[in-house]
């Protein structure tokens, strides 16, 4: 039998371990390169594969009405090592899947080390991988070592790769009260791809604005970690509460400026506005423009729900500001996660612009399957966009609307899996039953999304092409 060239995976974290496993399980050899313990990151403490650097939770395990729970289930069906190890070492945590971090990482490490098709090399990859590695998955995470990070940055021609990730909250459109808000771009400007009504505007009067500024300043914030304090900090992405502290009017002359806007509900210019901009091609998710923040999550929900029109806002993602390394994936990666400028390099994990342990592992799973299929002379189609795996892949390779901020910064930001990334599904009304309303309707809609997803992932997994060997 002809020997198959190995695929090289760089980084033995959540994504790299899963990618290596998926490749090996398909019968293709892998070399997994991990720099720990020779060189540690600022957050990792062990030499184990798939070390959880902070919380020990994989979040909700409810596959019926929660998007990350659905992602768990899809990954289980795809033979995920990360999910198998999490299931073995789960701890009591209500509806969440929490794990014993040491036993979890030990099991992943053992499965990787003992797999006959996986070789492990403990060394930092300090620049672009050698040219004769013709299929490589880069899964080096948010704390990618500087030498590799610089080499990737040079290859992608991007201004920056490692920086503070200024994340603004994202709202589900159906939770915005449009009897208070309205759609309008400043001065009705249409721009290159717009209509003149591209933003949703939430108006504040003087009293509401003053109360909002006070709440921002008083709100509880999260602290920077010591090693984050040395990361360069851009004036262009100051947290809103820092702007608020600089003076009562700073935000009204910044992201909350009311110029060029007229509130049609009152035929007047608002005192201040919060603008929402479409974030995904489906039009289901809208981000709060310029609202990066270090407020604690609970505080964000409380304070932002005081904004008129957002009283019942459901957040697909809350804001944050932390050190990260990720690519401008919608521009740089193709649909199978290859770098367009150098297709021998695939990317996986947090570095592709997903957020979270499970999401990182999920993209590792897909990158591994794509690479293994390619090595075997096959082309693996992407999972359908109706599945959690497909929806997440869609977000990083095309679903995000690529807008440029006024200061030229890219707008693509990391994302957790959430139902806003899925094409809508109608809630199923029980035969002969009454019309569903409110919370009941929302739950029925989620059930419709998840049952469609599981049906579609089963079809994708059983399609001819890559099959698991064990």
Ligand X SMILES: Cc1cc2nc3c(=O)[nH]c(=O)nc-3n(C[C@H](O)[C@H](O)[C@H](O)COP(=O)(O)OP(=O)(O)OC[C@H]3O[C@@H](n4cnc5c(N)ncnc54)[C@H](O)[C@@H]3O)c2cc1C
Q: How far is the CB of 148 from ligand X (least distance, A)?
A: 4
- Residue 142 interacts with ligand X (CB under 6 A): yes or no: yes
Separation between Cα atoms, residue 310 and residue 312, nearest integer Å: 5
- Residue 128 interacts with ligand X (CB under 6 A): yes or no: no
User: CB-wise, 96 or 216, nearer to ligand X?
Assistant: 96
Single residue of 6, 7, 9, 12 touching ligand X by CB under 6 A? 12
- Edge-to-edge, what's the strand order for the sheet holding 199-204? 182-183, 199-204, 272-278, 285-288, 170-172, 315-317
Single residue of 7, 10, 86, 168 touching ligand X by CB under 6 A? 10
Binding part of the chain for ligand X, among 10-18, 268-276, 383-391, 418-426 by CB under 6 A, reads 10-18
Question: Among residue numbers 60 through 99, which ones bind ligand X (CB under 6 A)?
Answer: none
- Residue 414 interacts with ligand X (CB under 6 A): yes or no: no
Q: Assign residue 11 a region (left: φ > 0; alpha: ψ between -120 and 50; beta: otherwise).
A: left
Q: How far is the CB of 346 from ligand X (least distance, A)?
A: 13
Separation between Cα atoms, residue 167 and residue 240, nearest integer Å: 11
357-375 and 14-25 are packed helices; what angle lies between their axes, rounded to 10 degrees? 30
User: CB-wise, 15 or 97, nearer to ligand X?
Assistant: 15
Single residue of 34, 62, 73, 74 touching ligand X by CB under 6 A? 34
Kindly report the number of other CB atoms within 10 A of residue 248's CB atom.
Answer: 13
- Token pair in block for residue 440: 């009941």
Residues in contact with 392: Cβ distance below 8 Å, sequence separation at least 6, in sequence order: 71, 354, 359, 362, 363, 415, 417, 421
Asked if 371 and 7 count as a contact pair (C-beta separation under 8 A), the reply is: yes
Single residue of 66, 201, 284, 360 touching ligand X by CB under 6 A? 360
What's the Cα-to-Cα distance from 180 to each of 175, 203, 204, 258, rounded to whole Å? 12, 8, 10, 15
Single residue of 139, 173, 345, 372 touching ligand X by CB under 6 A? 139
Q: Assign residue 185 a region (left: φ > 0; alpha: ψ between -120 and 50; beta: otherwise).
A: beta
Q: How far is the CB of 233 from ligand X (least distance, A)?
A: 16
- Token pair in block for residue 227: 């090693």
Sole residue written with tokens 């794990």 = 99
* Site track 291-320 with ligand X (rule: CB under 6 A), x = hit: ------------------------------
- Residue 329 interacts with ligand X (CB under 6 A): yes or no: no
Q: How far is the CB of 322 from ligand X (least distance, A)?
A: 7
User: CB-wise, 122 or 257, nearer to ligand X?
Assistant: 122
Single residue of 9, 28, 32, 35 touching ligand X by CB under 6 A? 35
Q: How far is the CB of 349 from ligand X (least distance, A)?
A: 2
Single residue of 25, 184, 350, 397 touching ligand X by CB under 6 A? 350
Binding part of the chain for ligand X, among 64-72, 240-248, 297-305, 352-360 by CB under 6 A, reads 352-360
Report which of 67, 256, 274, 285 is spatially closest to residue 170, judged by C-alpha positions: 285
Q: How far is the CB of 415 from ligand X (least distance, A)?
A: 12
User: CB-wise, 7 or 444, nearer to ligand X?
Assistant: 7
Asked if 366 and 388 count as a contact pair (C-beta separation under 8 A), the reply is: no
- Token pair in block for residue 209: 């604005």
Beta bridge partners of 91: 98
Binding part of the chain for ligand X, among 104-112, 137-145, 152-160, 202-210 by CB under 6 A, reads 137-145
Single residue of 357, 419, 422, 460 touching ligand X by CB under 6 A? 357
- Residue 230 interacts with ligand X (CB under 6 A): yes or no: no
User: CB-wise, 82 or 372, nearer to ligand X?
Assistant: 82
The distance from CA 234 to its chain's CA centroid, rounded to whole angstroms, is: 22
Beta bridge partners of 246: none
- Residue 33 interacts with ligand X (CB under 6 A): yes or no: yes
Single residue of 8, 20, 30, 36 touching ligand X by CB under 6 A? 36
Binding part of the chain for ligand X, among 5-13, 103-111, 266-274, 427-435 by CB under 6 A, reads 5-13
Q: How far is the CB of 19 from ligand X (least distance, A)?
A: 9
Separation between Cα atoms, residue 99 and residue 451, nearest integer Å: 26
Residues in contact with 139: Cβ distance below 8 Å, sequence separation at least 6, in sequence order: 9, 10, 11, 13, 15, 16, 19, 347, 348, 349, 351, 364, 367
- Residue 112 interacts with ligand X (CB under 6 A): yes or no: no
Separation between Cα atoms, residue 122 and residue 112, nearest integer Å: 13
Binding part of the chain for ligand X, among 12-20, 274-282, 331-339, 386-394 by CB under 6 A, reads 12-20
- Residue 330 interacts with ligand X (CB under 6 A): yes or no: no
Between vectors from CA 70 to CA 64 and to CA 74, what angle results, nearest 5°? 130
Q: How far is the CB of 199 from ligand X (least distance, A)?
A: 30
Q: How far is the CB of 12 from ligand X (least distance, A)?
A: 5
Q: Which residues bind ligand X (CB under 6 A)?
A: 10-16, 33-36, 41, 43-44, 53-55, 124-125, 139-145, 148, 349-351, 356-357, 360
């Amino acid at each position: 039998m002809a020997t198959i060239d190995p695929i090289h995976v760089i980084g033995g974290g959540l994504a790299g371990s899963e990618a290596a496993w998926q490749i090996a399980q398909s019968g293709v050899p892998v070399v997994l390169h991990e720099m720990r313990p020779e060189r540690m990151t600022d957050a990792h403490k062990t030499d184990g594969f798939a070390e959880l650097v902070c919380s020990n939770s994989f979040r909700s395990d409810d596959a019926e009405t929660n998007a990350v729970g659905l992602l768990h289930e899809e990954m289980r069906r795809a033979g995920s090592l990360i999910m198998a190890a999490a299931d073995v070492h789960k701890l009591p945590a209500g509806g969440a899947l929490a794990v014993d971090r040491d036993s979890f990482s030990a099991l992943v490490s053992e499965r990787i080390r003992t797999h006959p098709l996986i070789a492990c090399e403990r060394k930092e990859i300090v620049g672009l991988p050698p040219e004769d590695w013709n299929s490589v998955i880069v899964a080096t995470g948010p704390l990618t070592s500087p030498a590799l990070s610089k080499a990737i940055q040079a290859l992608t021609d991007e201004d920056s790769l490692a920086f503070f990730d200024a994340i603004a909250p994202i709202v589900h459109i159906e939770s915005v009260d449009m009897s208070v808000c309205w759609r309008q771009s400043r001065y009705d400007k249409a721009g290159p791809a717009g209509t003149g009504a591209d933003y949703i505007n939430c108006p504040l009067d003087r009293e509401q604005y003053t109360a909002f500024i006070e709440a921002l300043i008083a709100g509880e914030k999260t602290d920077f970690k010591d090693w984050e304090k040395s990361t360069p900090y851009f004036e262009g992405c100051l947290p809103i509460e820092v702007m608020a502290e600089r003076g009562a009017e700073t935000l009204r002359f910044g992201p909350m400026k009311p110029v060029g806007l007229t509130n049609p509900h009152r035929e007047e210019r608002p005192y201040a506005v919060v603008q929402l901009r479409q974030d995904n091609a489906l039009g289901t998710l809208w981000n709060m423009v310029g609202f990066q923040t270090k407020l604690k999550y609970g505080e964000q929900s409380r304070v932002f729900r005081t904004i008129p029109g957002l009283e019942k806002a459901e957040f697909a993602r809350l804001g944050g500001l932390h050190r990260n390394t990720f690519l401008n994936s919608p521009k740089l990666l193709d649909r199978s996660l290859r770098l367009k400028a150098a297709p021998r390099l695939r990317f996986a994990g947090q570095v592709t612009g997903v957020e979270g342990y499970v999401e990182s592992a999920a993209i590792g799973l897909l990158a591994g399957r794509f690479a293994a299929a390619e090595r075997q002379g096959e082309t693996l189609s992407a999972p359908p966009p109706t599945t959690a795996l497909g929806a997440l892949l869609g977000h990083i390779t095309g679903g995000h609307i690529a807008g440029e901020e006024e200061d030229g910064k890219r707008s693509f930001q990391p994302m957790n899996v959430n139902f806003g990334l899925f094409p809508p599904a109608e809630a199923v009304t029980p035969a002969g039953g009454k019309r569903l309303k409110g919370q009941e309707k929302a739950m029925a809609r989620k059930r419709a999304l998840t049952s469609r997803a599981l049906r579609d992932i089963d079809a994708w997994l059983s399609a001819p092409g890559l099959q698991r060997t064990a």
